[in-house]
Structure 1
């Protein structure tokens, strides 16, 4: 069993229940999650909320059908201990970072809710689809108040208010052998199953959805974050009494910071020489910081003049 689970961490599982017009995603992040978290020395409360954000991003990002599609989740406020949390997904790669005030963070409870961490803020979910507008492409963004005990509850409010898609999300965080492991489940009701019709037609009181929601809510947090429990087994435990459950393995996930020294240099080279001089430090370097991976890229003025 342990060998099977190793292949399932950092690899999402897609499932659908055609007879009940439901679709879902299961994901468990382990090595990828710790790779992202290791770029910064986050306090425990920040590490936990960022881990939740990365799992949520993986769950929602895997609903994109186009490889070049991108999902970005941003939680932001002006007066909370945690001022900004950003995560995104593109083609199986996730990345994220958080900005916080350490002094304010020291005053929050040991297990803070969203309000304790952010104060009054908002959650923005942005889908970028590389298709013509006539085919549903372009950028779509929904913004909702940052409310609820955790990001999962805030995201469910987003789907209720912005998408009108009945949605259940649960995410669990644990520590196993000194590393952070996080798992999550996303289940949605669509009128015509996996493809759906117009989003506005999905109704939360539909009897099929009520049945699926009750089954989904029986999942235990310890099951989601247990690296020894294969995701297929979770799907079987929840829905084995249904007539048909279709399961498809997703592509393995990776840490997805996209900072590239050559690209950064090319971008800076487009600025006028006078502006480049103003951006340079006393050594004649323009230093670019990547918040996601906590790396700096010094670009010398001399190299730009060649």
Structure 2
């Protein structure tokens, strides 16, 4: 694997999501690799190494799952809340190719964490909530699972098994060598309804097609997911090159997206009673708003 991160993002797959299907196996998936966008999100705060790794993993998972949404302006929110550990809050979301994320932690406890520790060591006791907001219909779907296992990816596999009953394999890799951080991920699923126009497929973990796909996808090595020389199309081909057909579709390029504008917060503050807004003012007569996602302080007219 090369350490050269200067290759153009459109050649390597940095900050891209690639959709793919394996029609003969009734499988679909996403593969993503984050580079500059990940660095931008992480640079908003000073995170110890282990919690930086956790936030990078959460951003990869948000891109993988969020890109499954088909409707414009639909949003995925990935939120972990816990107590008794180094991290008590983690929030990421994905909408129209825009990613943002934030993690709140105890600096002393976070510095003491060892690489490769479990979710319990990082979070203590808590839960992971995955929420899909569909702008076209206004519908909201949410699944909640315990923060258990060795990784957030494992918790997300539990979410798909319990909340959506869709056999799902997820692999995430993070390389956090200073000063750069690169992360990649792979998500593969059994089609819940088969291909469009076909009869509904009975989805089950023991289905021969799914067993085959899971073995092939599970063979991916962590270093391949973050290798800047291996583009996303080549990565998918390495896994499924023995199949009759593999269809790929590049999705929206990824970017850091934050809604911290004066207009956005003015609209939110307008929902508060006037007396409360007056109490929020500082000595300049403005309302200071601290955006946790990008670490900016905006001053909003009261």
When the two structures are superposed, what TM-score results if normalisation uses the length of structure 2?
0.92
Which residue of structure 1 aligns with residue 158 of structure 2? Answer: 157
Corresponding residue pairs, total:
297
Partner of 2:38: 33
Separation in 2, partners of 1:196, 1:260: 44
Query: 1:110, CA displacement in angstroms?
Result: 3.5
**Is the contact made by 2:291 and 2:297 (CA closer than 8 Å) also made in structure 1?**
yes
For residues 221 and 284 of structure 2, the distance between their equivalents in structure 1, rounded to whole angstroms, comes to 56
Deviations 1:152-208 (A, max 9, x none): 101001111111100000000114673100000000001543559999942111110
Structure 1 gaps, min length 5: 302-306
**2:126 counterpart (91, 109, 121):** 121
State the alpha-carbon separation in 1 of the partners of residues 272 and 148 from structure 2.
Answer: 41
Mapped pair 1:236 → 2:241: no
**1:251 matched to which residue of 2?**
252
Change (3 A) 1:85 1:191: closer
Query: Residues 172, 93 of structure 1: CA spacing in aligned structure 2 closer, same or farther, 3 A cutoff?
Result: same
Deviates more, 1:55-64 or 1:193-202: 193-202
Aligned-pair distance for 1:250?
1.1
Whole-angstrom distance in 2 between the partners of 1:123 and 1:271: 29
Where 2:84 maps in the other structure, the secondary structure is coil
Cα separation, 2, equivalents of 1:187 and 1:60: 11
SS in 1 for 2:236: helix
CA distance in 2 between partners of 1:228 and 1:176 (Å): 17
Residues 1:223 and 1:7: Cα distance change in structure 2 (over 3 Å): closer
| Contact 2:12/2:228 (<8 A) preserved | no
TM-score (structure 1 length as normaliser): 0.91
Distance 1:100 1:199 in 2: 45
Q: Deviations over 1:50-96 (max 9, x none)?
A: 00000000000110001111000111102211001110000000000
- Please tell me whether the aligned partners of residues 97 and 252 of structure 2 are also in contact (alpha carbons under 8 angstroms): yes
Aligned to 1:56: 61
Give ranges in structure 2 of 5+ residues lacking alignment.
Answer: none
**CA-to-aligned-CA distance 1:196-229 (integer Å, 9 cap, x gap):** 9999942111110000000001000000011111
What aligned pairs does 1:3-82 form with structure 2 within 5 A after superposition?
Answer: 6=11, 8-82=13-87
Q: How many Å apart are 1:147 and its aligned residue? A: 0.9
Moved more, 200-209 or 82-91: 200-209
Distance 2:115 2:199 in 1: 43
Q: Secondary structure at the match of 1:185?
A: strand
What RMSD in Å do the two structures reach over aligned CA positions? 2.2
State the distance in 2 between where 1:273 and 1:267 align.
Answer: 13
Counterpart of 1:275? 276
- Give the corresponding residue for 1:188: 189
Other structure's SS at 1:74 match: strand
Whole-angstrom distance in 2 between the partners of 1:267 and 1:118: 30
- Mapped to 2, the partners of 1:253 and 1:3 lie a distance apart of 14
**Distance 1:116-1:226 versus aligned 2 partners, 3 A rule:** same
Match of 2:212 in 1: 211
Residues of 2 paired with 1:293 and 1:198: CA distance? 46
Q: 1:85 aligns with which of 67, 85, 90?
A: 90
Aligned equivalents of 1:271 and 1:140: distance in 2? 27
